[in-house]
Amino acid sequence: MFQQTLETNFRRFKNFLGFARGFIRRQNPLKSFLKGFVEMAKDFLTMNKKLRMSRYRLNYHRHQLQKMEALIAENNQHSFLKGQNINEVR
Q: Encode pLDDT of 25-74 as tens digits.
A: 998 888 999 999 999 999 999 999 999 999 999 999 999 999 998 888 77
Which of 48-52, 60-64, 76-80, 83-87 comes out lowest in average pLDDT?
83-87
- In angstroms, the CA 67 to CA 84 distance is 22
Instruction: Give the residue extent of every domain in the chain.
Output: 46-90
Q: Please give the distance of CA 11 from its chain centroid, rounded to a whole number.
A: 47
pLDDT score for 90: 46
Using the predicted structure, report yes or no on whether residue 89 has a pLDDT greater than 70: no
Residue 11 corresponds to which amino acid? R
- In angstroms, the CA 75 to CA 70 distance is 9
pLDDT score for 86: 52
Residue 78 corresponds to which amino acid? H
DSSP 77: T
Radius of gyration of the chain (CA): 35
Using the predicted structure, report yes or no on whether residue 83 has a pLDDT greater than 80: no
When pLDDT is averaged across residues 8-37 and rounded to a whole number, the result is 93
Cα-based angle 77, 82, 87 (whole degrees, multiple of 5):
95
Using the predicted structure, report yes or no on whether residue 17 has a pLDDT greater than 70: yes
- In angstroms, the CA 25 to CA 19 distance is 10
